[in-house]
């Protein structure tokens, strides 16, 4: 592959990314950073945990993205009585023409490219764990067989932060499997006007399918190939270690407020997210700036805060921001 | 390839300029430190007073030159410490806004296997490096702190140009300084005393000996020394008054002699208070009369005013009598005048010594005043009066406070009962003028009995306060108390700092923040 070919691939990546973003932006008002974050996760082979109050467009965002990407989309509404079989599928007895009965696997909604796990923290831990294997291994074990999931496989889970009654908080291990945790904020005045204008007319805005499945897979490959200098990677490592209270490199804020720091998956997320971010910004290498850009969504759900942080209302975002401020490049 | 050369050349140029800036930074810091040291040395030199040498070539100048030389030695090696290419690339990325492109390209350049990606990175880095101007990217400038050298230099010059500081000494320093030149005055007084003894002037000798004793005695407080000096000065002053009275009597004799032409010269010399000239004139007169005017050593003391006046009047009468009928009054008068001249000479020198004693007493008083003022500043209450005593030791909290109290002329009880001597415990107070040292208060312990104690024997004597502590049995054995304490500590020292029995409540509180469960 020549550099000219590579240049064109990178240009194609940028164009595709921009096109999808614009297409989704025709339906979703504002939240451009969230849209970019979701796209980054999709291209970095990760999964997204979306947090936001009800009605800000979390589900709509995923639906729109699925429409724009020409991917198979399924939605799972998590409820307390949801069973693992409802997600991964189940074997049913089926009678053939000769009258013989046999078990046949009926795939669940997880067998799709884009899976929206709505209000994931309403299901029991057992059901949440069923999704866990699919997210991590990209395969499902059911009916005595392991069945691979079709690529790209992208889980986008939403979590409602207000309604804590009757919910099961996601365990740390499951939280760690999400590449990014994105927060959808409440729209501003102008944005709210725009939402009302778009959604109260006779016709909803339509989304065109601008990307095919193969394009997404190719973009994923391209993102993985972006080289990272050791000095830049070192920054990601130091950033991760700074979140560890027991580490010599631990930041003072981490020592005071953090019980457990970010896992190695956090460092991986930093680098992979930075690679996508570098390409989006027209760079053929990863810069420290790219790591800083993805640090908040990549690390905020990986910090386990202690009681003092809870009592002092110190959030993970505050701690990460402070570390980013103090950590020298 | 040429592009890669541009990339490296740019990094080298940036590195060279970074190095120059570092040399400037180190040199500036070293010069500033040297200037600060020079200022400190100049201040020390100024505060040491006139004896420490002035100007740039004095002590501070030598210190400044030494510091500058040291700074040069420290700064010189940095000239050869070249900035690495990685550091140059990092700095160029930071200043040129190339987002770690140069750092990445430099690293990928060193890698063995080149991929299309790393090749592309290096191409882009070469393009970015070509667009960078090292001169604009890393301008060689003096550090921001460099202008600080100007005020430091001004301060140094001002210190060098200041006039020598007039020494403001403390009480102890003042006493030492006063005692330092006591030796000269003591030698002078001792010579005077010896001369007085030789002349048989016992009164003068006793007074001079007293003054000598006041100077020579060690271990005396300044107040005692000042008092002795004042007494010696007063004694010498009284002696001067006696001499004045003698001169007054002789002046009257001189008036009576003025009427006689042959004695006019003697009378004029007496009026001029010149006894030696009067004796010489009288001797000449006796020689004119053919009489031996050699002093009669057996004539006895004629220097007393009455005897001298009588001898002079007798001599005057003899001038009218026939030659050869002399009665030896000339010899007596000449001897009396010569004795008077010697006595006057001694008196004059004693007067000078008295003035020196007075000056010494005054210097001691000034030292006491300074100590009092200093104490007043320390206490926030200005001391208006001169201090009679300041003690002799610079012990803060001890003698210092006490001597301040003395300087403020407080009552003796206030001095000893205050926080001065007693507070420090070991400070020995100086003697107070006109009083004996106040006695130090003694702690008394009052024994009190417990009124009623069931079952106590009448003969028991240990039911008093202030009794010595005794070993007794603990109510809870240490073996039982320690595990309880340790367990509570371990609970409280958990990462959450919540005791075990409260953890469930706290967890419940945070997991279920509803009204019904809000209160743990």
> Is the pLDDT reported for residue B52 higher than 90?
no
The string of DSSP codes covering B120-173 is HHHHHHHHHHHH--HHHHS-----TTGGGHHHHHHHHHHHHHSPPPPP---HHH
Q: What pLDDT is recorded for position B341?
A: 76
The per-residue pLDDT for B127 is 87
A69 touching B (Cβ < 8 Å): no
**Pairing relation of β-strands A258-260 and A89-95?**
unpaired
Residues B212 and B343 in one domain: yes
* pLDDT tens digits along B467-492: 444 555 555 556 666 666 666 666 66
Asked if A164 and B513 touch (Cβ cutoff 8 Å), the reply is yes
Query: Does residue B18 belong to any structural domain of this protein?
Result: yes
Residues B284-342 pLDDT 10s: 777 776 655 555 544 444 556 667 777 777 776 766 554 544 556 677 777 777 777 77
| Partner residue facing B116 (CB), from A3, A232, A308 | A3
Residues B4-23 have pLDDT tens digits of: 678 888 888 888 888 888 88
Residue B268 and residue B198 in one domain: yes
In a domain, B357, yes or no: yes
Q: Using the beta-carbon criterion (under 8 Å), do A227 and B121 form an inter-chain contact?
A: yes
Stretch among B141-150, B232-241, B315-324 having the lowest mean pLDDT: B315-324
- B178 in contact with A at a CB cutoff of 8 Å? no
Q: How far is A275 from chain B (nearest CA, A)?
A: 13
What's the pLDDT band for A321 if we cut at 50, 70, 90? very high
Mutation target to probe the A interface, by most A beta carbons within 10 A, among B102, B117, B514 is B117
Residues B28 and B56 in one domain: yes
- Distance, in Å, from the CA atom of A98 to the CA atom of A178, rounded to the nearest integer, reads 47
**Does residue B431 lie within any of the structural domains?**
no
Share of chain B above pLDDT 90, in %: 0
Q: Please report which confidence band the pLDDT of residue B54 belongs to, taking 50, 70 and 90 as the band edges.
A: low
- For residue B320, the model assigns a pLDDT of 57
Residues B453-471 have a mean pLDDT of 50
Which residue of B lies nearest to A233 if distances are taken between CA atoms?
A: B104
Per-residue confidence (pLDDT) for residue A198, from 0 to 100: 79
B108 to chain A: closest CA residue: A229
Smallest Cβ distance to B107: which of A6, A231, A288?
Answer: A231
Residue A105 burial class via C-beta count within 10 angstroms: exposed 0-12, middle 13-18, buried 19 and up: middle
- The answer to whether residue A272 scores a pLDDT higher than 90 is yes
CA distance B25 to chain A (A): 21
More confident residue, B388 or A23: A23
Nearest chain B Cα distance for residue A24, angstroms: 29
Range of the domain at B144: 2-161
Express each pLDDT in B179-201 by its tens digit: 556 777 777 778 778 877 777 77
What is the pLDDT, as a whole number, of residue A47?
92
Q: Let me know how long chain A is.
A: 329
Residue B111 contacts A where some CB pair is shorter than 8 Å? no
Task: Calculate the average pLDDT of chain B.
Answer: 68
pLDDT band at A266 (very low <50, low <70, confident <90, very high): very high
Using a CB–CB cutoff of 8 Å, tell me whether A289 touches chain B.
yes
Q: So what CATH class is A11-198? A: alpha beta
Compute how many other C-beta atoms are within 10 angstroms of the C-beta atom of residue B245.
11
Which pLDDT score, from 0 to 100, does residue A276 have?
94
Taking alpha carbons only, the member of A261, A274, A263, A265 closest to residue A233 is A274
* CA-based nearest distance B10→chain A, Å: 20
Greatest mean pLDDT among A259-268, B147-156, B249-258 lies in: A259-268
**Is A3–B120 a contact, with Cβ atoms under 8 angstroms apart?**
yes
Residue recorded with tokens 């027209």: A282
Residue A251's SS3 state is coil
Residue B260 and residue B227 share a domain: yes
Contacts of A164 in chain B (CB under 8 A): 511-513
pLDDT class of B372 with cuts at 50, 70, 90: low
A229–chain B Cβ distance below 8 A for any pair: yes
Q: Is the Cβ of B103 closer than 8 Å to some Cβ of chain A?
A: yes
Residue B232 belongs to a domain:
yes
Identify the closest residue of chain B to A1 by CA–CA distance.
B116
Is B416 or A117 the better-scoring residue by pLDDT? Answer: A117
How many Å lie between the alpha carbon of B112 and the closest alpha carbon of chain A? 14
Total count of residues recorded for chain B: 520
Q: Contact A253/A323 with Cβ under 8 angstroms? A: yes
Partners of A146 in the beta sheet? A141
Cα nearest neighbour of B498 on chain A: A307
Predicted TM-score (pTM) above 0.80? no
Half-sphere exposure of B200 (CA within 13 A, CB side): 5
pLDDT at B424: 39
pLDDT in tens, B377-424: 555 444 444 344 444 443 434 444 555 555 555 555 544 433 333 443
Domains identified in chain B, total number: 2
| pLDDT score, position A275 | 94
- Interface residue B100 vs chain A (CB under 8 A): yes
How far does B108 lie from chain A, in Å, by closest CA?
7
Contact criterion met (CB below 8 Å) for B517 and A164: no
pLDDT score, position A323? 93
Q: Which residues of B touch A289 (CB under 8 A)?
A: 99-100
Partner B contacted by A311 (CB < 8 A): no
Q: Greater confidence, A262 or B412?
A: A262
A271 and chain B in contact, CB less than 8 A: no
Mutate to test the interface with B, among A223, A244, A284, A291 (most CBs of B within 10 A): A284
Q: What is the percentage of chain B residues whose pLDDT exceeds 70?
A: 56
Given B161, B186, B205, the domain boundary residue is B161
Dihedral class, residue B380 (left if φ above 0, else alpha if ψ from -120 to 50, else beta)? left
What is residue A30's predicted lDDT score, i.e. its pLDDT?
A: 81
Q: With contacts defined as CB-CB under 8 Å, which chain A residues touch B91? A: none
Q: Identify the weakest region by mean pLDDT among A265-279, A310-324, B99-113, B290-304.
A: B290-304
The distance of B414 to chain A (nearest Cα, Å) reads 56
Same domain? For B197 and B149 the reply is: no
Res A292 pLDDT > 90 = yes
Same domain, B101 and B200: no
Clarify whether residues B96 and B238 are in a common domain.
no
Average pLDDT, chain A: 87
Q: How many CB atoms lie within 10 A of CB A14?
A: 14
Query: Is residue B61's pLDDT more than 70?
Result: yes
Look at B90 and A231 and tell me if their CB atoms are within 8 Å: yes
**Is A6 an 8 Å CB contact of chain B?**
yes
- B157 and B258 fall within a common domain: no
CB–CB of B117 and A284 under 8 A?
yes
Closest A-chain CA to B510:
A310
B87, B91, B99: which to substitute to probe chain A, counting the most A Cβ within 10 Å?
Answer: B99
Closest residue to A287, CB basis, from B100, B108, B496: B100
Burial class (CB in 10 A: 0-12, 13-18, 19+), B59: middle
- According to DSSP, the β-strands at A114-118 and A73-77 are parallel
Q: Which neighbouring-strand residues pair with A49?
A: A157, A181
Are B107 and A230 in contact, with CB atoms under 8 Å apart? yes
pLDDT confidence band for A239 (50 / 70 / 90): very high
The answer to whether the CB of A138 falls within 8 A of the CB of A115 is no
Question: What Rg do the C-alpha atoms of chain B give, in angstroms?
Answer: 47
Q: How confident is the model at residue A233 (pLDDT cuts 50, 70, 90)?
A: very high
The last residue of one of the domains, among B116, B140, B161, is B161
Nearest to A165 among B121, B124, B514 (CB): B514
Nearest Cα of chain A lies from the Cα of B109 at a distance, in angstroms, of 11
> Which of A226, A293, A307 should we substitute to test contact with B (largest number of B Cβ atoms within 10 Å)?
A307
Round to whole Å and give the CA distance between B382 and B400: 16
What confidence tier does B116 reach under pLDDT thresholds 50, 70, 90? confident
Inform me whether the C-beta atom of residue A101 falls under 8 Å from chain B C-beta atoms: no
- Say if B289 falls within a structural domain: yes
The helix, strand and coil proportions of chain A, stated in percent and rounded to the nearest 5, come to 50, 15, 35
Which region among A122-126, A274-278, B338-342 has the lowest average model confidence (pLDDT)?
Answer: B338-342
Evaluate whether residue B386 is within a structural domain: no
More confident: B68 or A278: A278
User: A234 in contact with B at a CB cutoff of 8 Å?
Assistant: no
Give yes or no: residues B229 and B147 share one domain: no
Nearest CA in chain A to B109: A229
Taking residues B125-132, report their average pLDDT: 87
Both B198 and B123 in a single domain? no
Rg, Å, chain A Cα set:
21
- Is B111 in the same domain as B190? no
- Domain-by-domain residue ranges, chain A? 11-198, 224-329
CB B199 within 8 A of CB B342: yes
Nearest Cα to B11, choosing from B80, B75, B104?
Answer: B104
Residue in A225, A271, A285, A289 to test binding to B, most B beta-carbons within 10 Å: A285
Point out the least confidently predicted range of A162-171, B106-115, B183-192.
Answer: A162-171
Which chain B positions have a beta carbon within 8 Å of A236's beta carbon?
none
Domain range A224-329, CATH architecture: Orthogonal Bundle (1.10)
Higher pLDDT, B53 or A173: A173
Model pLDDT, residue B420: 39
| End position of a domain, from candidates B381, B396, B413 | B381
Q: Is B123 found in the same domain as B177?
A: no
pLDDT of residue B438: 46
* A313 shares contact with chain B (CB less than 8 Å): no
Interface contacts (A, B; CB < 8 Å): 76
């Amino acid at each position: 592959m020549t550099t000219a070919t590579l240049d064109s691939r990178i240009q194609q990546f940028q164009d595709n990314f921009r096109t999808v973003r614009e297409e989704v932006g025709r339906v979703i008002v504002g939240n451009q950073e969230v849209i970019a974050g979701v796209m980054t996760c999709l291209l970095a082979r990760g999964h997204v945990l979306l947090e936001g109050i009800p009605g800000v467009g979390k589900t709509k965002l995923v639906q729109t993205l699925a429409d724009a990407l020409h991917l198979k989309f399924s939605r799972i509404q998590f409820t307390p009585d949801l069973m693992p079989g409802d997600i991964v599928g189940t074997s049913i007895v089926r009678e053939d023409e000769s009258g013989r009965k046999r078990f046949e696997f009926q795939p669940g909604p997880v067998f799709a490219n884009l899976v929206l796990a709505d209000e994931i923290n309403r299901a029991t831990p057992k059901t949440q764990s069923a999704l866990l294997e699919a997210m991590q291994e990209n395969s499902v074990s059911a009916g005595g067989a392991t069945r691979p999931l079709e690529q790209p496989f992208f889980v986008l889970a939403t979590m409602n932060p207000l309604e804590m009654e009757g919910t099961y908080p996601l365990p740390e291990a499951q939280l760690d499997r999400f590449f990014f945790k994105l927060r959808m904020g409440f729209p501003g005045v102008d944005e709210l006007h725009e939402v009302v204008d778009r959604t109260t007319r006779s016709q909803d805005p339509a989304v065109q399918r601008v990307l095919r499945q193969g394009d997404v897979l190719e973009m994923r490959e391209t993102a993985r190939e972006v080289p990272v200098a050791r000095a830049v990677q070192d920054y990601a490592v130091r950033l991760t270690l700074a979140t560890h209270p027991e580490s010599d490199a631990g930041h003072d804020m981490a020592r005071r407020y953090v019980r457990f720091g970010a896992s190695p998956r956090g460092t991986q997320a930093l680098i992979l997210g930075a690679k996508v971010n570098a390409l989006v910004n027209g760079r053929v290498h990863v810069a420290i700036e790219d790591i800083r850009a993805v640090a908040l969504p990549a690390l905020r759900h990986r910090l386990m805060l202690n009681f003092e942080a809870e009592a002092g209302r110190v959030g993970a975002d505050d701690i990460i921001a402070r570390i980013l401020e103090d950590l020298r490049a | 390839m040429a592009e890669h050369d541009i990339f490296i050349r740019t990094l080298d140029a940036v590195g060279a300029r970074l190095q120059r800036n570092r040399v400037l930074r180190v040199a500036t810091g070293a010069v500033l430190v040297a200037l600060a040291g020079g200022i400190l040395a100049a201040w020390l030199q100024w505060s040491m007073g006139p004896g420490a040498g002035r100007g740039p070539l004095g002590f501070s100048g030598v210190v400044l030159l030494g510091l500058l030389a040291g700074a040069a030695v420290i700064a010189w090696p940095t000239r050869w410490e070249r900035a690495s290419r990685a550091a140059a690339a990092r700095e160029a990325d930071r200043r040129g806004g190339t987002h770690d492109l140069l750092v990445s390209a430099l690293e990928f350049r060193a890698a063995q296997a080149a991929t299309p990606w790393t090749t592309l990175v290096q191409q882009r880095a070469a393009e970015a490096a070509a667009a960078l101007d090292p001169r604009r990217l890393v301008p060689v400038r003096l550090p921001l702190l460099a202008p600080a050298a100007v005020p430091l230099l001004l301060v140094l010059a001002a210190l060098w140009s200041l006039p020598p500081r007039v020494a403001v000494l403390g009480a102890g320093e003042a006493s030492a300084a006063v005692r330092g030149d006591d030796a000269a005055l003591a030698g002078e007084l001792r010579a005077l005393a010896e001369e007085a003894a030789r002349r048989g002037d016992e009164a003068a000798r006793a007074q001079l000996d007293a003054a000598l004793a006041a100077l020579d005695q060690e271990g005396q407080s300044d107040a005692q020394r000042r008092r002795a000096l004042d007494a010696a000065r007063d004694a010498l002053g009284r002696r001067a008054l006696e001499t004045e009275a003698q001169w007054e009597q002789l002046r009257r004799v001189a008036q009576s002699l003025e009427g006689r032409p042959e004695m006019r010269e003697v009378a004029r010399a007496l009026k001029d208070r010149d006894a030696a000239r009067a004796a010489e004139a009288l001797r000449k007169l006796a020689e004119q009369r053919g009489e031996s005017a050699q002093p009669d050593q057996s004539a006895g003391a004629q220097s007393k005013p009455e005897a001298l006046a009588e001898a002079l009047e007798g001599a005057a009468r003899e001038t009218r009598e026939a030659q050869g009928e002399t009665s030896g009054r000339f010899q007596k008068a000449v001897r009396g005048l010569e004795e008077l001249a010697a006595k006057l000479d001694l008196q004059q020198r004693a007067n000078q010594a008295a003035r020196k004693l007075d000056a010494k007493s005054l210097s001691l008083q000034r030292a006491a005043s300074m100590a009092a003022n200093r104490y007043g500043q320390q206490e926030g209450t200005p001391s208006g009066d001169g201090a009679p005593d300041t003690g002799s030791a610079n012990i803060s909290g001890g003698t210092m406070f006490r001597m301040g109290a003395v300087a403020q002329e407080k009552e003796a009880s206030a001095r000893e009962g205050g926080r001065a001597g007693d507070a420090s415990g070991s400070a020995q107070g100086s003697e107070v003028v006109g009083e004996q040292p106040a006695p130090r208060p003694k702690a008394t312990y009052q024994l009190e009995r417990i009124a009623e104690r069931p079952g106590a024997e009448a003969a028991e004597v240990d039911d008093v306060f202030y009794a010595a502590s005794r070993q007794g049995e603990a109510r809870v054995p240490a073996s039982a108390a320690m595990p309880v304490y340790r367990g509570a500590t371990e609970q409280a020292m958990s990462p959450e700092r919540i005791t075990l029995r409260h953890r469930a409540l706290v967890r419940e509180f945070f997991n279920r923040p509803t009204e019904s469960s809000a209160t743990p």
